[in-house]
Amino acid sequence: MIIDHPLLGPRDAQEFVILGDASLIDRPDWQAEDAAQQFHDYQHLRDNPAGEHRELWFHEQGDRSWLVVTRSTLTHEVLKVELARDVAIARGRNR
Amino acid sequence: MKTGAWIGHSAVDAMRYSVLQILKEGLTGNRGWKPVWREPEPKRRYDVIVVGGGGHGLATAYYLATVHGLTDVAVLEKGWLGSGNVGRNTTIVRSNYLLPGNEPFYELSMKLWEGLEQEFNYNAMVSQRGIVNLYHSDAQRDAAARRANAMILAGADGVLLDREALEKKCPYLDYDNERFPIKGGLWQPRGGTVRHDAVAWGYARGADRRGVDLIQNCEVTGFDIRNGVCHGVETPRGTIGADRVAVCVAGSSGKVMGYAGLRLPIESHVLQAFVTEGLKPAIPGVITYGAGHFYVSQSDKGGLVFGGDIDGYNSYAQRGNLPTLEDVCEGGMALMPMIGRARVLRIWGGLVDMSMDGSPFIDRTPVEGLLFNGGWNYGGFKATPASGYCYAHLIATGEPHPVATEMRLDRFERGGAIDEKGVGAQPNLH
Amino acid sequence: MSGPYRIDGGAIDRGRSLAFRFDGRSMTGHPGDTLASALLANGVRLVGRSFKYHRPRGVFSAGSEEPSALVELRNGAHREPNTRATVAELFDGLEAFGQNYRGSLRHDLLAVNDLLAPFLSAGFYYKTFMWPKSFWERVYEPAIRASAGLGRLSGEADPDSYDKGFLHCDLLIVGAGPAGLAAALAAGRSGARVILADEDFVMGGRLNAETHEVNGRSGTDWAAKAVRELASMDRVRLLLRTTVVGAWDHGVYSALERRTDHLAASNGKPRQILWRIYSKRAILAAGATERPIAFGGNDRPGVMLAGAVRAYANRFAVGAGRRVGLFTNNDDGWRTAADLTARGIEVAAVIDVRDRRPLADVPGARILMGGRVTATWGRRGLKGVELASGERIALDCLAVSGGWNPNVHLTCHHGGRPLWRPEITAFVPGGGLPEGMTVAGAANGTFTTAAALAGGHRAAAAVLDGLGVSVAAGEAPGASDEAAGVSAFWHVRESRGRAWLDLQNDVTVKDVVQAHREGFRSVEHLKRYTTLGMATDQGKTANVGALAIMAEQTGRTIAETGTTVFRPPYTPVPIAAFAGRSRGREFRPTRLTPSHDWAAGQGAVFIEAGMWLRAQWFPRPGETHWRQSVDREVLQTRGSVGICDVTTLGKIDIQGRDAAEFLNKVYANGFAKLAVGKVRYGLMLREDGIAYDDGTTARLGDHHFVMTTTTANAVLVFRNMEFARQCLWPGLDVHLISATEQWAQFAVAGPNSRSLLRKIVDPEHDISNEAFPFMACGEIGVCGGTPGRLFRISFSGELAYEIAVPARYGESLMAALMAAGEEFDAFAYGTEALGVMRVEKGHAAGPELIGQTTARMLGMQRTVSKKKDCIGNILSERPEMNREDGLELMGFRPIDRSQELSAGAHFLAPGAEATMENDEGWLTSVAWSPELGHAIGLGFIRNGHARVGETVRAWDGVRGRDVPVEIVSAHFLDPDGERLRG
C-alpha cells in the first residue's frame, strides 16, 4: 500500500504503524458524569465499517506524524490523507 | 469424548462410511455414493436459526441436534458450506493457552477433537503430531513454564524441552542463529493439525442427517426485531422466523450485528496464510517461532502450511500485502533455512474478527432471542468443536457453558479482559 | 546432433553442446534448450510420477503451466524439488532426477496405488482410516504422508543468497509476447519509463514458438529486433527470466527475477531477486495457456498440448514424437499439423471433434472430422490411440488442443472475477481489476497475432494518454489474422478408462461426477473435495475443463458455475526469495551500545534485548559457571562500586512551555510540581488502565524534561506520547524527540559510586549528598568539559547514579570510569546482576510488567492520581481490576533455604490438588541472593499483603518441582532505602 503523506508525498505503508479507528482522537471528558461508560465505549467499541474507514497511521520510520487516512476496507483505496493534528484541532481538541 | 448419543432417525437415507462401503462402491464404479447433505428449501420458521455455515455454525447445529435434541434448526449460509474461516486457515489445533478464561475452553475443544471422527463417522484427519512454541531467552523460558503449568492445572498436557531434547525432534532448526539462538520450547504433544474442510463437511453431514436444514446461498440481510425481541431473519428468499437466532459469522460479525444496531468490540482484519508445493515429509509437527512471526506445519499432501502476523490494517478485502508476506518468510528463513528452496504455491487472505483482548465471545446480546458467537481472532479453527458445543449449550439452555463463562461481551465494562498477549485494547496487536 | 529426436531449425545454439544427466543417464543438449526439450530430444519420455496413483508422467507443456514433468534439480543442499523441466534452462553439468517414486522411476513400487484406484476415488480418505482410532497417527497417516508429497527438500540450509530490489515506472508491462512488445515499443518510443518483464529467457512469447510473420519478417526475428530497439532506450528496463507473481495494492507488483538458475553455480551472486515494482499503470499481456481435452488414458507420456508440440518443433528443434497425431476442437490446433509436416515430422492423424469440413490438407495424415479419442495404450509412453469408431492408430505423440485460457490470474488478485465468453469458450478478465491495470492480447481473449499486436499498441497509447504523455508511437506492427475458431468440447463421453483432468493430482472426470453425486457442487467444494487444481500448477491446464464438466452435471452454465479464486503467486516462489537477505545474522538489525566493543574485549556474554545486545555478565578468569560471575558482580557492586551500561533504556527529550502538563497526562502519577533539578519515578498506564511501562523523568529546566523508558517499550512509549501530543492534546506546547541513541548512559552503583564519580565529574559540580541528594539531577561537565548529565537514581538499591554523555563519548567514558574506579576495585556488571539486585529490592520489571498488570497488583494504586486527567485512570477503576482478593506483588523465599526457586511456578496452598481452581498466582522472577545466601523470588499471589508469613507451595509441575515458600515483603534488602539515600 502507498500512503500519500500530506507533507512528504507518497510513501510505502511499510514505513508506518497503524493504530486503528480515528475515533480514538475523540477521547471523552474525564469529568463527565458517565465517564466510565464513555471511556469504555471509546476504548472498546468500533463501527468496523465495510467501506470507508477513517484510521490513524503513525509515520514511525519517517517524520513521526500521526495521519488520519480515509481508506476503503473493501478495496484498500486511499481516499484522503490528513495530518491527525489538524483533524484533532478541527474537532476542538486544542481547547 | 462422547458428546451425545446417536439419536433420532436419519433425515435422509443415511450412509455410514466404512472400509466395506469403500470396497463395495469401488467394485461398482463408485456410483452408489449418496449426497452428504440435502439441498432443502427453507421453511417459514424454525426453533433455531444459525446464521453462518462455517465451521462454528455447522458445529453448533450438530451439537444442538446431538446433545440437546434440537433438530428444528436451519443453518443459513451466504455462500457454500464451509466457506467461512474453516475453509481458509492453517489447520492447527492446540490447547496451550495461559489464562483461566481461555484454557479450559480450548482444552474442552481438544478433547472433542480427540473423539470427533469416530463420533461423526468422518475422517477429518485429526493428527496429534505435537506443537512446539520455541523460546530464545530465560525470560521466554519462564513464561513458557508459567504457561505449561497453567495448562497442566487445567488438565492439558505440556512439556518443557531444552535445546538438547528439542534438537532430537527438530534437527533442522537454526539453533545457533546469530540473532536469536533457540534455547528450547514448550511442547504440547496433543497439539497438531486437522483437515479443515473435512471438519465442516463432517459436522454438516452429521447435522443434516439429524434433520437440520443446511441452506446454502442464503445470505442474511437483516433481522426481524420488534420491541427488542428478535423473531427471525430477513433473506433474499424471504423472512424466516425463529425463536432464537444465533449469529456465527466471524469475519463479518461487525457487518451482520450492525443489522441489529449493535456495535462490537471487534474489528475485521486480514490474516494471510501460505502453502508451498507438495514435498516429501520434512516437518513432523507444528513449530512456532518465538523471535519472529512464523509458524509452520506440513499437510498430509506435503505442502508446508505457514503463517505469521496479521497485516494490521482493517480490511474486508480478503487479501493482504507484501510486507507481511516478506516478514513471515524472513521468520521462516531465520528459523529453518532448509525451507528456502521450497516454493510458495498459494497465498490467501482470510477475514478475521480481531477482538479488543484477543479472545472470543459466546454470549447473549441486548436483543432478546439474538445470540452472538465471534471475535475468534486468528485462532478460531482449533476452537470449532468447543465453540459449537458451548454455543449450542447457551442456545439450548440459556446459560453459558461452564468453560465459556468469561467469553462475555460485557467483560470490558467489568475490567475482565482475557488478554493473553498483554497488549490491551488494540485488535491489530493480538 | 544432440539426441535422436532433434530436427533442423529452431533457436538453439548447435555450435555448443551441454552435457547433462537425468536420473543417472548422461545426455547432451544445446544452449537454448530447456531440460524438457533436451529430454525430448534424447527420447526421454518418462520424467516423473503422479501424486496419487504414481502413474508415469512426461512432458506435457512447454511452459510454466507444466503439471507433469517435475524433477528434482541439482544436488545436495542445492537440490530444488518440483522443478518444472519445461522452464529449467539447460546448463553444462545440469543434473536432475525424477521424483515421487519408491524404487526406481521406471519401476515405482507405489504404482500399486493405480491398481487400487477404484477404492481411492475422490475423498476416499474421509470415509476410512478411522478404525482403530490410534492407528491414524501411527500407521495410516505416516504411510499417506510418505507416498504423497512430491520432491524432497535437501534438509540442509539453502546455500544461496537472495536479494530484493525496488523499481519505479510509469508503465509495467507483464509479458513480452506480441501484445507486450507492441505496448513496450509504443510506450518506450514516447519516452515513458517502462519496465517489460517476461518469465522466459527469450522475449517474444508465442512468436518464438509459432511461424507467424510480423511486419513482413518472421515473428522470432521481429521480436528480436523489437527487443534490441527497447534495449537501446534509456527509460526502458527489460527484465528477462522475470515473473510478475503478484499484484498488490496501489500499483505495487512483485516480480521474481531468476539470476543464476540458468548457470551451473551462482558464484556468490544472488540467485534470485524479488523486485518490488511501483508502477503508475500496468498492462497485463501475459498471453494464454492451452488446455487439453479429457479422454480415456489421456495422461500417458506422449499426450501433450498441441501448442507445446509446435513450440518444441519450431523453437527447440525437437520432434515430440516420430509419428504424431492431433486431437483438437479448434482451428489453432491445426497449426501443429501444418508446422510438423513442414518440418518433416510425420503427422499420422488429425482428429477434430467438429463435424465440419477439414481446415486444410495434411499430407499423409488421416483426417477424421467429428472424431473422438476414447482410449490410449503404451505403459510408460504413448504407443497408440483408439477412436470412438473403434479404429486404432499407432502414435508416439498425441498433440491435444482444447482451446486457450487467457492468463487472467493477475486481474483477479484484488478479488476480481473473470467473465465467461462462450463465443471463444474462455474466461476473460472481468471487473475488479487492480487499480491502474489494463489487459491486452491473448490475456484479454484476443487470440490472433494481428489483434494482439494492435491491442498492445492501443493499450499503451491509452495508458500514455492517461498519464499525460504525448504518444509518439506510430502504427501498430502488422500481421495477418490466423483462424481461431473453437467449439466447446471438454471431454470424450465415450471414453474407455479414466479420463484425466488434473494430471498431477490424479483427478479424473469420474471424480468430478462423483463429487457432484455426493453434493460437492460448488466449484470450491469440487476443488477441495477432489484436490482439483491444488497441485503445483494450480490447475492452469485443468480447471476450466473440470468446471465445464461440473456445469454439465448440474445443468448450469459455465458462467453460473464460475471459477475458484486466483491467488498469488502466479507461479511458485521460493520462500528464501521472499525473505531476501533477512536471515541468520541479518534477520533483524543489531543495535550495539557504546561500550559494546569494550565489553566484548572483556569477554562479556551478551543477551538480546529490544534488538540491542547487552552484556549479560562478565566472566573473570577462573569462573566456570555464570552464577559465579553474577554473584561476584552483585557483591562487588553492593560492596564497593559497579558500572553498568544502561544506554538501551529509552530516552525521550521533552521540551515546551506545556511539557510539565503534558507529562501529567501521560503518567499516572503527578508531574506538574516536579522541581527543576529533580527526578521522579513515573508509572505509565494504557488507556485501558493496565500498567505497561515505568521509568524516571528528570526535570532539567522549566520547560525541559528527559524521560527514560524500559528498553523493551522505548518505541511504543514514544509512539503513544506522540499520539497524545498530536491527537489528544494538540493545543499543548510540547515537543518530543527520541534521544535513546543520542546519549550513552551508565549506572554507577555502590557505596563508592560517589567517590568514583568525583574523579570523573568536573569539580565545579558539587555532587555531595547535601548538594546532590537522592533523586537529584543536573547537567554537568565530565572529564574536563565534556557535556553530560547526572541523575541520582538507583535500580540496585545502593547509593547510585546514572551518568550520560553524548553517544560518541560513550566508549571513552566507560574507559574513564573503569580507570577511575581501579582504586575502588570497580567492575562492570551485566544485566543478570542488575536483575538480581532489582529482585532483592522488589522492583517490578519485564517479567512483572506483562501487559496484564494493574497498578493495584504492583501495590501502586495510590500512585494513580484520580485528581487529574491522565491516560488510563478512568478505566483503571473497573471492578474486576480492583477485586479485594486480587493478585498482589509479593516476595517469596523457600522455607528450606537450600532449595532453588523457578520462575513460572504457580502457587498452591499446602495439600491442595493441582487444579486450576486452586491456582493462586505465579512466581514471576527468581534470583539467588548472594547477600542473603538463599534463593528469593517475586510473584503475584491472591491477596498477598494480608498473607505475609503464610506458607504456600511454588508448584512447578512441568519441571517436577514443588517447593514450600513463605510469603514475604518484596523488599528483601534495605526496605527503608537507607543505602540509596546515603
Question: In chain C, where are the structural domains located?
Answer: 1-155, 162-288+406-467, 292-402, 498-554, 591-648+742-829, 650-738, 873-981
Among C251, C414, C726, beta carbon nearest to A85: C726
Supply C914's cell numbers: 493441582
**B74 falls within a domain:** yes
Closest CA to C874 of B413, B422, B355, A95: B413
The interface predicted TM-score of the complex, written ipTM, equals 0.99
Same domain, B86 and B201: yes
**By percentage, how much of chain C surpasses pLDDT 90?**
95
Among B263, B313, B315, beta carbon nearest to A46: B263
Q: Does the structure show a pLDDT above 90 at C323?
A: yes
List the CATH code of the domain at C498-554. Answer: 1.10.10.1100
Number of CB pairs, chain A paired with chain B, less than 8 A apart: 69
Q: Does the structure show a pLDDT above 80 at C2?
A: no
- Inter-chain touch A48–B254, beta carbons under 8 Å: yes
Nearest CA in chain C to A2: C250
Among B263, B315, B428, beta carbon nearest to A73: B315
Q: Does the structure show a pLDDT above 90 at C481?
A: no
Interface of B with A in 388-427 (CB under 8 A): 412-413, 425-427
**By percentage, how much of chain B surpasses pLDDT 90?**
95
Structural domain harbouring B277: 131-190+267-355
**pLDDT for C779:** 97
Same domain, B370 and B338: no
Last residue of a domain, one of B337, B355, B373: B355
Same domain, B45 and B115: yes
pLDDT, tens digit, for every residue of B112-125? 999 999 999 999 99
Per-residue pLDDT averaged across C857-881, rounded?
A: 95
Closest CA to C174 of C203, C205, C198: C198
Closest CA to C934 of C893, C881, C976, C979: C893
Distance from A87 to chain B by nearest Cα, in Å? 20
| Contacts C905 to B, Cβ<8 Å | 145-146, 149
Q: What DSSP line would sit under C913-961, residue for residue?
A: -SSGGG--EEEEEEEEETTTTEEEEEEEEETGGGGTT-EEEEEEGGGTE
**Unique residue bearing C-alpha cell 506545556:** C658
Among A13, A45, A76, beta carbon nearest to B264: A45
Among A18, A43, A53, beta carbon nearest to B425: A43
**B303 falls within a domain:** yes
**Sheet arrangement for strand C573-574:** B159-162, B184-188, B131-135, B286-288, B295-298, B303-314, B266-278, B343-355, C573-574
Same domain, B94 and B209: yes
| Contacts B249 to A, Cβ<8 Å | none
Give how far Cα C246 sits from Cα of C414, C431, C571, Å. 10, 17, 9
C278 touches chain A (CB under 8 A): yes
Q: Does the structure show a pLDDT above 90 at C137?
A: no
B177 touches chain A (CB under 8 A): no
Q: Does the structure show a pLDDT above 50 at C61?
A: yes
Sign of CA dihedral C516, C518, C523, C527: negative
Rounded CA-CA distance C22/C47 in Å is 9
Tally of structural domains, chain B = 2
pLDDT, tens digit, for every residue of C164-218? 999 999 999 999 999 999 999 999 999 999 999 999 999 999 999 999 999 999 9
Q: Does the structure show a pLDDT above 70 at B14?
A: no
Q: Between B138-153 and B103-120, two packed helices, what is the crossing angle to 10 degrees?
A: 60
The pLDDT confidence band at residue C473, using thresholds 50, 70 and 90, is low
Q: Between C523-530 and B196-209, two packed helices, what is the crossing angle to 10 degrees?
A: 110
- Inter-chain touch C252–B337, beta carbons under 8 Å: no
**pLDDT for B5:** 40
- Inter-chain touch A20–B315, beta carbons under 8 Å: no
**B32 falls within a domain:** no
Q: Does the structure show a pLDDT above 50 at B108?
A: yes
Task: Outline where DSSP puts E strands in C417-562.
Answer: 419-421, 426-428, 437-439, 500-502, 507-508
pLDDT, tens digit, for every residue of C375-388? 999 999 999 999 99
Q: Are strands C194-197 and C236-239 parallel, antiparallel or unpaired?
A: parallel
**B166 falls within a domain:** yes
The pLDDT confidence band at residue C1, using thresholds 50, 70 and 90, is low
Any chains having at least 3 CB pairs less than 8 A from chain A are B, C
Which amino acid belongs to residue C595?
S
**pLDDT for A83:** 98
Question: Which 8-state DSSP code applies to residue C259?
Answer: S
Same domain, B275 and B351: yes
Distance from B298 to chain A by nearest Cα, in Å? 30
With beta carbons less than 8 A apart as the criterion, state whether B403 and A21 touch: no
**B17 falls within a domain:** no
**B401 falls within a domain:** yes
Q: Does the structure show a pLDDT above 60 at B2?
A: no
CATH fold, domain C1-155, is: Ubiquitin-like (UB roll) (3.10.20)
pLDDT, tens digit, for every residue of C664-698? 999 999 999 999 999 999 999 999 999 999 999 99
At C66 the three-state DSSP class reads coil
The region, left, alpha or beta by phi > 0 then psi within -120 to 50, assigned to residue C253 is: beta
| Contacts A19 to B, Cβ<8 Å | 426
- Inter-chain touch C847–B142, beta carbons under 8 Å: yes
Q: Does the structure show a pLDDT above 70 at B276?
A: yes
List the CATH code of the domain at C591-648+742-829. Answer: 3.30.1360.120
Among B265, B312, B316, beta carbon nearest to A74: B316
Same domain, B219 and B275: no
Q: Does the structure show a pLDDT above 60 at B7?
A: no
Rounded CA-CA distance B270/C391 in Å is 57
At C108 the three-state DSSP class reads strand
Same domain, B108 and B136: no
Nearest CA in chain B to A38: B413
Same domain, B119 and B201: yes
List the CATH code of the domain at C292-402. Answer: 3.50.50.60
**B81 falls within a domain:** yes
At C280 the three-state DSSP class reads strand
Last residue of a domain, one of B309, B330, B355: B355
What are the residues of chain A with a beta carbon less than 8 Å away from any beta carbon of chain C? 1-2, 17, 19, 24-25, 27, 30-31, 35-36, 39-40, 42-43, 56, 58, 60, 64-66, 75-78, 83-85, 87-89, 93-95
Nearest CA in chain A to B356: A44
Number of CB pairs, chain B paired with chain C, less than 8 A apart: 361
**pLDDT for C257:** 98
Interface probe for A, chosen from B270, B272, B315 (most Cβ of A below 10 Å), is B315
Closest CA to C793 of C928, C692, C682: C682
- Inter-chain touch A64–C687, beta carbons under 8 Å: no
Which amino acid belongs to residue C741?
E
pLDDT, tens digit, for every residue of B96-105? 999 999 999 9
* Ranges B273-282, C135-144, C600-609, C859-868: which has the least confidence: C135-144
Same domain, B101 and B209: yes
The residues near C699 (Cβ < 8 Å, ≥ 6 apart) are: C660, C674, C675, C676, C677, C678, C679, C705, C777
How many separate helices (H) and strands (E) can be counted in chain C? 22, 51
List the CATH code of the domain at C873-981. Answer: 2.40.30.110
C735 touches chain A (CB under 8 A): no
**pLDDT for C132:** 87
Among B80, B174, B344, beta carbon nearest to C525: B80
Specify the CATH number for the domain of residue B301.
3.30.9.10
**B15 falls within a domain:** no
CATH architecture of C162-288+406-467: 3-Layer(bba) Sandwich (3.50)
Does the domain at C650-738 match CATH 3.30.70.1400? Answer given as yes
Q: Does the structure show a pLDDT above 80 at B3?
A: no
pLDDT, tens digit, for every residue of B363-410? 999 999 999 999 999 999 999 999 999 999 999 999 999 999 999 999
Same domain, B272 and B350: yes
Per-residue pLDDT averaged across C101-126, rounded?
A: 91
Fold match between domain C162-288+406-467 and domain C292-402: yes
Q: Does the structure show a pLDDT above 50 at B12?
A: no
Closest CA to C192 of C221, C234, C227: C234
pLDDT, tens digit, for every residue of C537-552? 999 999 999 999 999 9
Q: Count of CB atoms within 10 A of residue C978's CB?
A: 10
- Inter-chain touch B277–C955, beta carbons under 8 Å: no
- Inter-chain touch A60–C278, beta carbons under 8 Å: no
Question: Which 8-state DSSP code applies to residue C727?
Answer: I
Domains of chain A from N-terminus onward: 2-26+43-90 (3.30.2270.10)
